[in-house]
């Protein structure tokens, strides 16, 4: 299968892809037609079925999704999550993409500042490289040890760990400088943060693995996959968005061998 960016309907494209060929998909669908993507159609059920078919055993799909809020929440995201489960994916985790700024204000409810990141896997994930954060307290400290029946605190000098595994709520700044500093990316209406794609790529794959985005928009997942020496296939139905992705990722440069 050729790698690089392609203009196509992702269902048609995936139907030509090899079965069980993808290590990781990081993608974000159009949410309830929340934004106008030049009027292209979105066939969720067929996309989900094909994603399952092309994902390797132990491969992962990260599905970044929000609901339209129009009076109340549509809960389309929940329906999609249940459909993914019904077709055989394991809902390995439901993570939160928290937006640190520009949250969506509501007059009669709390301000919405998140989207879901469904981490779906075909069986148990093959790879998990946990990302770490620095702990607030670290170094040597006197810590309580073996409090016995006499109630006396026996303290011993112990080392607190310097870092711990992150939680599953990932906060990112959005907008210029947060999402990306590539001005051209903002010609697309719904770019997700480069760091979000990067963090999933580092967590669920190793160098040389094949990363996929069937609705690649401005090319964020591809940019981060290639930066970290993963292979990449990206598809978008819009020629204009694929042009943005190619310009963003390759600029005036000649693509690497085998990448179009």
- Point out which residues bind ligand SAM (CB under 6 A): 9-10, 28-30, 37, 40, 42, 188, 190-192, 214-215, 217-218, 220, 235-238, 241
Spatial contact of 167 and 156, defined as CB atoms under 8 Å apart? no
The answer to whether the beta carbons of residues 209 and 228 sit under 8 Å apart is: no
User: From the CB of 43, what's the least distance to ligand SAM, in Å?
Assistant: 6
Contact 169, 96 (CB under 8 A): yes
Greatest CA separation for the chain: 75
Query: At closest approach, how far in Å is the CB of 172 from ligand SAM?
Result: 12
Which residues 6+ apart lie within 8 Å of 242 measured at CB? 5, 6, 7, 216, 219, 234, 236
Minimum distance of ligand SAM from residue 235's CB (angstroms): 5
Looking at the Cβ atoms of 37 and 97, the one nearer to ligand SAM is 37
| Strand 139-145 relative to strand 210-213, pairing | unpaired
Q: Give the shortest CB-196-to-ligand SAM separation in angstroms.
A: 9
Write down the H helix ranges in 172-255: 194-204, 220-227, 239-250
Question: What's the chain's length in residues?
Answer: 260
- Beta strands 114-121 and 55-65: pairing type? antiparallel
> Which residue, 117 or 210, has its beta carbon nearer to ligand SAM?
117
Minimum distance from residue 157 beta carbon to ligand SAM (Å): 49
> For ligand SAM, which is the closer residue by CB, 174 or 259?
174
Q: Of 112 and 164, which CB lies nearer to ligand SAM in the complex structure?
A: 112
Strand partners, 40: none
Beta partners for residue 259, in sequence order: 3
Q: Nearest to ligand SAM by Cβ — which residue?
A: 217
- Nearer to ligand SAM (CB atom), residue 121 or residue 220: 220
- Closer residue to ligand SAM (CB): 23 or 198: 198
| Min separation Cβ 156 and ligand SAM, Å | 50
CB of 71 to ligand SAM, least distance (A): 23
User: Looking at beta carbons only, is 190 or 243 nearer to ligand SAM?
Assistant: 190
CA dihedral of 78, 44, 34, 8, whole degrees rounded to 10: 150
Whole-number Å distance between alpha carbons of 125 and 92? 8
User: Is the separation of the CB atoms in 27 and 192 below 8 Å?
Assistant: no
């Amino acid at each position: 299968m050729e790698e690089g960016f392609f203009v196509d309907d992702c269902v048609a494209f995936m139907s030509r892809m090899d079965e069980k060929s993808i290590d990781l998909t990081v993608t974000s669908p159009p949410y309830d037609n929340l934004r106008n993507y030049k009027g292209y159609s979105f066939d969720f059920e067929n996309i989900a079925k094909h994603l399952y078919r092309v994902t390797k055993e132990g491969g992962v799909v990260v599905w970044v999704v929000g609901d339209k809020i129009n009076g109340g929440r549509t809960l389309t995201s929940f329906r999609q999550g249940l459909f993914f489960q019904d077709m055989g994916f394991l809902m390995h985790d439901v993570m939160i993409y928290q937006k640190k700024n520009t949250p969506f204000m509501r007059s009669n409810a709390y301000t919405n500042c998140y989207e879901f990141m469904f981490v779906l896997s075909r069986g148990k994930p093959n790879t998990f490289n946990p990302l770490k954060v620095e702990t607030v307290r670290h170094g040597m400290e006197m810590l309580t040890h073996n409090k016995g029946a006499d109630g006396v605190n026996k303290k011993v000098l112990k080392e607190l760990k310097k870092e711990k595994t992150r939680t599953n709520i990932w906060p990112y700044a959005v907008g210029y400088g947060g999402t990306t500093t590539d001005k051209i990316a903002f010609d697309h209406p719904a770019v997700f943060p480069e760091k979000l794609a990067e963090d999933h790529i580092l967590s669920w794959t190793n160098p040389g693995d094949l990363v996929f985005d069937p609705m690649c928009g401005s090319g964020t997942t591809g940019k981060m996959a290639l930066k970290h020496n993963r292979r990449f296939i990206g598809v978008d139905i819009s020629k204009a968005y694929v042009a943005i992705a190619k310009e963003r990722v390759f600029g005036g440069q000649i693509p690497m061998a085998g990448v179009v």
